[in-house]
Amino acid sequence: MKRNLTLDEETLAAYLRGDVDAETAAAVEAWYAASEANRRKLGEIYYILFLNDRVNDAHRIDTEAALRSVRNRIRRPQRLRMRRIVVRACAAAAAVAVLVTGGLTTVSLSERLSRPVTVYTQLGERSQVVLPDGTKVWLNSNSRVEYVAPFFSRQRRVAMEGEAYFEVAHDEHAPFVVTTGGLDVRVLGTRFNIRNDEERHRVTTVLLEGAVAAHAHDNESSSVRLRPAQRLVFDSSTGAMSLEECKAADRSIRWIEGRFSFEHNTFGQIVAELERYYNVNVRFMDDRLREECFSGDFHVEDGIYHIMSVLQLTYKFTYRTAGNVIEIYPAPGR
């Protein structure tokens, strides 16, 4: 039997803190999506809190006047839409508030900003998410992004692991920064793919549209600017950068459609990709096989054994399976 829920400011604040049960959370989300007025109310709560923080910090703001001013110029809050994803967030990106009888109290500014929206995928999964600022992100298998809300900053920042494709919402006053593997990629509005291959100490950024600038964390003077159809390869172990033309830039995001696109990739690189999707452990019984190169396009639905059989037509090798372990051997006579 459903409870009668009162969605007052205190309940909304508890939801934003993540302190409500599943039933209440669902009710708040339905309420938020129901009307523009409801979305404005959430924005009003946030901005009231923003001004109250300034009172606590500077002790020189007329709170009552500030509240009246805010109500006269409410700004539409950021939309938070999550589709086909797993989300873990200590608080919604919009705001955190605690309303108590007789006054207004807020969680500290630093505490709120330390609570990012986290999105991740498991092995074999792909996901799409729209961040609170409107940026669209596609995550490849076994990847993760953490988005820090930019309400008190001129910078939108995402920490990333694995591989993701970004379509960044343009905001000239709030640059968008992706941090991964010791590299910062800074954009205003653009489309690009970035992959952090931790085992190879390699971060690869491919720009499809717009412009980005990238620099190592410990050397901002080493900034490199990319143009569309260029690829930047960053060695996270040495800090070296290599910028090259990438005429087939669209190939870098074929994974969004559930496709593998290999172009003169080593067998070792291909196997690493297959392991991410099919949750298998591939063992090379002769390390020389790792450096053999292959090209080809496959669909994830083809399955790993079909892909292995096609690759065998290019280079003769044999393989043996035992559970989720695949052992690869040179073909007899090689």
Question: From CA 334, how far away is CA 297, in angstroms rounded?
Answer: 26
| pLDDT digits 0-9 by tens, 181-203 | 999 999 877 999 999 988 888 99
Dihedral sign, Cα of residue 144, residue 155, residue 190, residue 183? negative
Rounded CA-CA distance 329/334 in Å is 10
- CA–CA distance, 284 with 297 (Å, rounded to integer): 22
Mean pLDDT of the chain: 75
At residue 48 the predicted structure's pLDDT band, cuts being 50, 70 and 90, is low
- Please check whether residue 226 is in contact with residue 207, taking contact to mean a CB–CB distance below 8 angstroms: yes
Q: What is the pLDDT of residues 292-310, one digit of tens each?
A: 888 888 998 889 989 988 8
Give me the pLDDT at residue 133, please.
Answer: 76
Read off the pLDDT of each residue in 238-256 and give the average, rounded to a whole number.
90
Tokens coding 329: 């051997």
pLDDT for 152-192, tens place per residue? Answer: 556 788 999 999 999 998 777 778 999 999 999 998 779 99
* Distance in angstroms (rounded) separating the CA atoms of residues 200 and 197: 6
User: What CA–CA distance (Å, rounded) separates 318 from 320?
Assistant: 7
Three-state DSSP state, 23: helix
CA distances from 178 to 43, 84, 151, 246, 287 (A): 26, 22, 17, 21, 35
As a whole-number percent, the residues of the chain with pLDDT over 90 amount to: 25
For the full predicted model, state whether its pTM sits above 0.75.
Answer: no
